[in-house]
Amino acid sequence: MGPSKKNQKRTNDENAPVKKNKKQKREDYRAAMREEGVSTLPRKKFYRQRAHANPFSDHQLVYPPHPEQMDWSTLYPEYVVKGSEETPAEETSESTAVIPKLLTQDVEVADIGCGFGGLLVALAPVMPETLVLGLEIRVSVTQFVEDRIKVLRHQNPGTKLYQNVSVLRANTMKFLPNFFRKSQLSKIFICFPDPHFKARKHKQRIVSTTLNSEYAYVLKPGGIAYTITDVPDLHEWMVQHFEAHPAFERVSEKEQEADPCVRIMRMETEEGKKVERNKGQKYVALFRRLEDPVW
């Protein structure tokens, strides 16, 4: 979600026949990826989508009404509790609560706005015992990450490598509590979010004091919210809004630099690499979820 990805549309319009071709190619490629294309990693150019999505519009989203009704088994097939597979979820017909298959452990790390999944892929071998979930609002981009993880899993048969990461399409600004229970997560990553430069778009920013209450809700006390951006003002905004929230405190610089996730976040995210190429600055801020006071 970088600040400058705007000029693609224009070149598309100029060569209309090429565009159609492109679209066709794109669809063919993705269909092939879906079916058997498991040998090579997917190519980004077939999954591009404009960088901005409006978080306030009613997208056609799939989300569980309650975290307990979330079916994680398709996302982490290696972690499904053995024996629970016999009860197929389909037999329940209508609004009766579906009891999904259980996982041996809960998702503990969320990458909000995971983009093309650089962080997920880098985190997978670093925290092999932890389930990591990427959340992304753009359909094509989510598909790319899905295909990418599929291929990576296929390339590492017999091991659990990459079985612990997965991706989901979601609007986290609205539906985070539909996926995660209270205090379920230990880490939340917010990497290079859409900066929304215009003041009138600031309300669409993914960090705000009121929304931080929801991040605090899904994070367990002691859990960490990681933020990184290449836009100084957005960095200031995020720091200001997290520090204004009584449930968070800023993690000291020393501790921040000692955290291995920070290095990965700096170097391995797709945007991080891009900023590196452009010799831009990167601003990191970590916030610890504090214990709630008694009420």
Provide the annotated active-site residues.
Answer: 194
Could you give the dihedral angle defined by the CA atoms of residues 273, 275, 276 and 278, in that order, rounded to the nearest 10 degrees? 130
Enumerate long-range contacts of 38-44, CB under 8 Å, 24 or more apart: 38/150, 38/151, 38/154, 39/151, 39/154, 40/151, 41/148, 41/151, 41/152, 42/144, 42/147, 42/148, 42/151, 44/116, 44/144
The answer to whether the CB of 122 falls within 8 A of the CB of 111 is no
How big is the CA angle at 120 (ends 280 and 98), to the nearest 5 degrees?
140
The whole-angstrom separation of Cα 112 and Cα 191 is 8
Does position 205 interact with another protein (CB under 8 A)? The reply is yes
Residues 87-116 that bind another protein (CB under 8 A): 95
Q: Is 269 assigned to a binding site? A: yes
Selected from 62, 91, 210, 254, the binder of another protein by CB under 8 A is: 210
Interface stretch with another protein, choices 19-27, 103-111, 122-130, 242-250 (CB under 8 A): 242-250
Selected from 66, 154, 160, 273, the binder of another protein by CB under 8 A is: 66
- Lay out the site mask for another protein across 222-241 (x = CB under 8 A, - = otherwise): --------xxxxx-xx--xx
Please state the length of the chain: 295
Q: Is 270 assigned to a binding site? A: yes
Selected from 11, 34, 43, 56, the binder of another protein by CB under 8 A is: 56
Taking each helix axis as running N to C, give the angle between helix 260-267 and helix 270-277, from 0 to 180 degrees, rounded to the nearest 10: 60
Task: State the minimum distance, in angstroms, from the CB of residue 253 to another protein.
Answer: 22
Biggest CA–CA distance in the chain, Å, is 65
Binding residues: 113, 136-137, 171-172, 191, 269-271
Binding site residues, another protein, CB under 8 A:
3-4, 6-7, 54-60, 65-67, 95, 139, 173-175, 177-178, 182, 195, 197-200, 202-203, 205, 208-214, 216-217, 230-234, 236-237, 240-241, 244-247, 278-281, 292-295
